[in-house]
Amino acid sequence: MEEDMVDKENGLDAPGADPAEPAASEPGVGATGRTPDMPQARRTKRGWIVAGVIVAVVLVAGIGAWVWHEQPSFCNAICHSPMDKYVESYGEGDPGKLVTQHAAAGDTCLSCHEAEFTTQVSEAMAWASDSYPMDEATGMLATGKEFATEEFCARSGCHSMDEVVANTWGFEGNDEKYNPHSSHQDLALECGDCHKVHEKSTLVCNECHALTAPEGWEAPNE
């Protein structure tokens, strides 16, 4: 009788029970030796892998977008109507447009036009309303002249007015008594009156003098 009770406790009286294989008695362990929570562990691991891939894709896309943002092609890809002429001038190689010299030096749009928050907000508003202040005579933005000042062009890391003056006595083979950067006779001239980045530069000196203009430049009274 006692042996029967022991057999029942060990599960050996069940039909088909193999005396050589004791019934599983460890809690949480199945016939295969795997715990029931292993599928959940696999799902968790898979979730981390998917999350890692998504983060990597977003990071790479963000870096790519930032690099593109610094290229001239970005400017007219977003703001088509006013920027096409500017981007075209960047690559056309016209010696009369200073963008050619800047491009040859490796400068891009953002080298001069820094991405300041207030500027980007105003540009976003202009883009949303499709309303840009244009100069009807040139087809360029009317705000362009705001940039071509001595304060803007001679800032740190760009041009030095002392070097510019020293290098332009007798420019382009002209008489050395003329220096277009120091002989203004108290005229209120800014860099942009002569130097055009995206348009033909103009030798304003020739409104009074008869000088030879640099290659590609326009000269009044010539």
Main-chain phi, psi angles of 122, to 5 degrees: -65, -35
First-to-last alpha carbon distance for the chain, in angstroms, is 130
Is 9 among the domain residues?
Answer: no
- pLDDT band at residue 80, thresholds of 50, 70 and 90? low
Q: Structurally, how many domains does the chain consist of? A: 1
Contact status, residue 213 vs residue 222, Cβ threshold 8 Å: yes
In a domain, 44, yes or no: no
Q: In whole angstroms, give the CA distance from residue 38 to residue 41.
A: 5
Tell me, yes or no, whether 23 lies in a domain: no
Give the structural domain span for 123.
69-207
* Per-residue model confidence as pLDDT tens digits over 65-75: 777 766 777 77
112 in a domain, yes or no?
Answer: yes
Question: Could you give the CA distance from residue 31 to residue 24 in angstroms, rounded to a whole number?
Answer: 8
> Is residue 120 domain-resident?
yes
Amino acid 104: pLDDT:
93
pLDDT of residue 6: 45
The 10 Å CB-count burial string (b at 16+, else e) for 21-59 is eeeeeeeeeeeeeeeeeeeeeeeeeeeeeeeeeeeeeee
Query: Do the domain assignments include residue 219?
Result: no
The confidence band for 2, taking pLDDT boundaries of 50, 70 and 90, is very low
- Among 4-18, 145-159, 176-190, 205-219, where is mean pLDDT lowest? 4-18
Check: pTM over 0.75? Answer yes or no: no
12 falls within a domain? no
What is the C-alpha to C-alpha distance for residues 76 and 84, in angstroms, rounded to an integer? 5
Dihedral of the CA atoms 154, 158, 162, 167 (nearest 10)?
A: -120
Q: Is residue 15 part of a domain?
A: no
